[in-house]
Amino acid sequence: MPRHATAYERSRPDPRAVAAALADSRQSAYWLDDLGDYTTYPLLSGETSTDLVIVGGGYAGLWTAVLAKQRDPQRRVTLLEGETVGWAASGRNGGFCDASLTHGEGNGQARWPDEMDTLDRLGRANLDAIEAAVTELGLDCQFERTGMLEVATEPHQVAWLREGPGEFLDTEAVRAEVDSPTYLAGSWSRDTCALVQPARLAKDLARVAADLGVEIFEHSPATELDIPRHGAVTVRTPRGKIVAKHVALATNIFTPLLRRYARLLVPVYDYALMTEPLTSEQIAGIGWKNRQGLGDVANQFHYYRLSADNRILWGGYDAIHKRTVDSAHEDRPETFETLAAHFLTTFPQLEGIRFTHRWAGAIDTSTQFCAFHGLARGGRIAYASGFTGLGVAATRFAAEVMLDRLDGADTERTR
């Protein structure tokens, strides 16, 4: 069968407009630049001991630290981060805090059809718990429970949305929400997704953890685990070591320290752009009054959203598989040009807007396309990884699973 041109191929913007839009952009993650001054933490040197050592200062590690202290304030908890808190995926993602624990309904139904009702319920409860924590812990992360609007840009995608769980919107209705000539239909799930400023969420979780008594060490990568047949585990860093009863590994795509699950992960590089703030006239030109998170339903999909100051983050489409994690993979001009062109096709009324930031980062893609969890070495080491781009919320659930398992608890989550 002949291949049909996509909406982005049928209506291509002037290459000069694409070049102009990117001309002043800097290669830097907007969310991290937006932090301003923030707390830093010392480097680990010498030898110490603790009850629980957490390896990784992204969302999974930070939620584990906070929840561990909330469960047992007397438990000694130490967190090791190889760079700075939230510098990797947790500080440079799209900020979509989605209820799904299975990377979407389709993937979940294909893999765990008999458990999907339970998984959906647990995922929604997890998102509710994050929203409650934002208020109770005073997390300054620009949390907005806007829901998610999925859009069809090709005729065959309309039926997918009509059959899905969200509120179906025909062409007129979806363009009344957000006005793009590429939209043919939409599906709005009003309460299953929130938006956050991702780097602020990470930094404020670290603040809460430290206030609860967690010892946090930055620039202290865990390089080795010494695991005797019985007793405490030693975690080594370049300048120190920690002896601990239990270890929680939350290392995302980076060296997992346990060989058993390294083969289950593949790094995939994702790319994003951020516009300058839109004027009130530009906002009026595209609508978007309800500020939903947005994504199309193509196999190579885009995700996009408004920031608190009305910038548009525009990401996705090119997912580049790599064998290794290397910052050299983050500079890919052809991908940024493609993203900019697709943005202007989607919103031709915004021609003339400039992108201020462009960036990329590695996603920990797993063989089952969503997080996996495990316990090792006689119940002394727990791990969770493989979030495949939907970890903003699922990492909190993973933290609960790791703590349940380390505590030897039989819970609905562990089952």
Percent composition of the chain: helix, strand, coil (DSSP 3-state, to 5): 35, 25, 40
- The alpha-helical segments, DSSP class H, found in 36-184 are 59-71, 89-92, 105-111, 116-136, 155-162, 171-177
Q: Are 392 and 100 in contact (CB under 8 A)?
A: no
pLDDT tops 90 at residue 29: yes
Strands (E), 238-338: 240-249, 265-275, 293-296, 302-306, 312-316, 320-321
Q: What angle do CA 208, 212, 217 make, to 5 degrees?
A: 75
Q: Report d(CA 130, CA 392) in Å as an integer.
A: 10
What angle do helix axes 59-71 and 391-406 make, rounded to 10 degrees? 40
pLDDT tops 90 at residue 323: no
Cα dihedral 369, 374, 377, 382, rounded to 10, equals 110
Binned at pLDDT 50, 70 and 90, residue 374 comes out as very high
pLDDT at 4: 64
3-state secondary structure of 232: coil
pLDDT at 263: 80
Q: Report d(CA 415, CA 396) in Å as an integer.
A: 17
Mean pLDDT score of the chain, rounded to an integer?
Answer: 95
pLDDT at 3: 52
Gyration radius of the chain over CA positions:
22
Closest Cα partner for 22 from 404, 406, 342?
A: 342
pLDDT digits (tens, 9 = 90+) for 44-72: 999 999 999 999 999 999 999 999 999 99
Tell me the percentage of the chain whose pLDDT exceeds 90: 87
Residue 48 phi, psi dihedral angles, 5° rounding: -145, 175
pLDDT tops 70 at residue 376: yes
pLDDT at 33: 97
If you average pLDDT over residues 1-6, what whole number do you get?
61
pLDDT digits (tens, 9 = 90+) for 118-172: 999 999 999 999 999 999 999 999 999 999 999 999 999 999 999 988 999 999 9
Cα dihedral 25, 29, 31, 36, rounded to 10, equals -90
If you average pLDDT over residues 296-321, what whole number do you get?
94
Q: Are 264 and 155 in contact (CB under 8 A)?
A: no
Q: What angle do CA 380, 384, 387 make, to 5 degrees?
A: 180
Residue 178 DSSP label: B
pLDDT at 6: 84
Q: Say how many C-beta atoms besides its own lie within 10 A of residue 387's C-beta.
A: 29
pLDDT at 275: 98
Residue by residue, what is the 3-state secondary structure of 245-259? EEEEECCCCCCCCCH
Q: Report d(CA 14, CA 85) in Å as an integer.
A: 41
pLDDT digits (tens, 9 = 90+) for 277-299: 999 999 999 999 999 999 999 98
pLDDT at 328: 86
Binned at pLDDT 50, 70 and 90, residue 319 comes out as confident
Tokens of 311: 């910038």
Cα dihedral 397, 87, 275, 98, rounded to 10, equals 0
H or E, element range at 393:
helix 391-406
H or E, element range at 341:
helix 333-346
Q: Report d(CA 228, CA 232) in Å as an integer.
A: 7
pLDDT tops 80 at residue 260: no
